[in-house]
A and B are shown apart, each in its own frame.
Chain A
Amino acid sequence: KQEVTQIPAALSVPEGENLVLNCSFTDSAIYNLQWFRQDPGKGLTSLLLIQSSQREQTSGRLNASLDKSSGRSTLYIAASQPGDSATYLCAGTQGGSEKLVFGKGTKLTVNP
């Protein structure tokens, strides 16, 4: 049974800092990996999708990578801003399944 661990559970940083969020899967056979952000009381917003043939994706100040040999993914946020404050969730599917398994998230607070 696939389980997803996100470290740290919470993170508080001053504005402008670069930071890394971590995600690991008990079964490293990840097909697609997706990072989301969730604002309080809101739905999930897709940030980045790493598909089966890819290892990395970038969008603006965000960069996500996936090491399929270890089943680990990192989300790098450059020059963090207060507007980045949210909970960040990683989720992955395994080959042949459309079931996206989620971690419990990292709650990020960026202080002005």
Chain B
Amino acid sequence: DTAVSQTPKYLVTQMGNDKSIKCEQNLGHDTMYWYKQDSKKFLKIMFSYNNKELIINETVPNRFSPKSPDKAHLNLHINSLELGDSAVYFCASSPWPGELFFGEGSRLTVL
């Protein structure tokens, strides 16, 4: 019974394609996040939703669009993928304020 689960775990695609990563949490948390970990292993927040409402929107290209159908799900859609989008994308959830719990990550490789 995984707390925060992401799919797919690995994603290899061509430049210019559109792809989505899904995230679900069964912890009953109100807040969910997307973080990006680049090739240098640096983790940076992209988006945060609280009860389906966008509360953090960092300087991220418009090609990235999060969507939260309900407070247990936060999906990330990426349009027109570029080489620089290759990274590991982590979903996380938390009560607020409180401890963050992360998923296993989704490794995106853009060729």
Contact = CB atoms under 8 A, between A and B. Distances in A.
Given A93-B97, A98-B50, A98-B97, A43 B41 contact: no
Contacts of A52: 97
A102 B56 contact: no
Contact of B99 (A34, A43, A101, A104): A34
A89 interface: yes
Contacts, number: 59
Nearest to A101: B45
Q: How large is the interface on B (under 10, 10 to 19, 20 to 34, 35 or more residues)?
A: 20 to 34
Interface of B is mostly: strand
A87 B41 contact: yes
For chain A, the bracket of interface size reads: 20 to 34
Interface string B54-67: 01101000000000
A62 B63 CA distance: 41
